[in-house]
């Protein structure tokens, strides 16, 4: 479409007509790009495990052979360190969007350490998983807020070891 606009601008006789045609083509191209959702980069029949580069923290994407998506952990600052950079918003979300993933089937938090839960708030907001699985390890304060956030967003919350047997059977 953009090539057509360029050709029209070069061949149309009047200056105003070229400007109008170019702007119209630019607007139409922009609308098409904004409205076009690429299909997810998922290969049916293949089990995929991707360790996502989130510095020294943890986050992984699992795609089942049936195409179900599971994000385990959501990174965050190590230990007592504080950071204004949200790894969920700044790393995990762009990675998943680049893969064409707009919704997750499951999000999993094995325990409440900051380097596992820090980016989950953004993941819940951006990808609205069907379910949040929470491990049995005693959580910290930031960890306690996530199940409540998930429930407010209509995400089912499961806890304990039960979820592993339910998912893989």
Quick: pLDDT tens for 47-78: 999 888 887 777 899 999 999 999 998 877 76
pLDDT band at 8; cut points 50, 70, 90: low
List, in sequence order, the alpha helices (H) in 55-113.
Answer: 87, 93-98
Lowest mean pLDDT among 16-20, 113-117, 156-160, 161-165: 161-165
Domain ranges of the chain: 2-35, 48-168
Helix H or strand E encompassing 29: helix 15-35
Fold of 48-168: Metallo-beta-lactamase; Chain A (3.60.15)
**Token pair in block for residue 15:** 């200056």
- % of the chain surpassing 90 pLDDT: 26
pLDDT at 139 over 50: yes
- % of the chain surpassing 70 pLDDT: 73
Question: Which residues does residue 109 pair with via DSSP β-bridges, in sequence order?
Answer: 134
How many Cα atoms sit within 13 Å of 118 on the Cβ side? 27
pLDDT band at 104; cut points 50, 70, 90: very high
Integer Rg of the chain from CA: 22
């Amino acid at each position: 479409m953009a090539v057509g606009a360029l050709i029209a601008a070069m061949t149309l006789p009047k200056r105003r007509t070229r400007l109008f045609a170019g702007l119209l083509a630019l607007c139409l191209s922009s609308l098409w790009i904004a409205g076009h959702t690429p299909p997810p980069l998922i290969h049916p029949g293949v089990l995929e495990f991707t360790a996502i580069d989130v510095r020294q923290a943890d986050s992984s994407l699992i795609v089942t052979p049936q195409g179900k998506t599971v994000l385990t952990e959501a990174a965050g600052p190590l230990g007592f360190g504080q950071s204004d950079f949200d790894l969920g918003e700044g790393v995990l979300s762009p990675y998943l969007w680049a893969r064409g993933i707009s919704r997750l089937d499951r999000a999993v938090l094995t325990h409440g350490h900051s380097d596992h839960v820090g980016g989950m708030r953004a993941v819940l907001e951006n990808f609205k998983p069907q379910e949040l699985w929470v491990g049995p390890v005693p959580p910290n304060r930031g960890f306690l807020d996530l199940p409540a956030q998930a429930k407010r967003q209509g995400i089912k919350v499961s806890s304990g070891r039960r979820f592993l047997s339910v998912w893989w059977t």
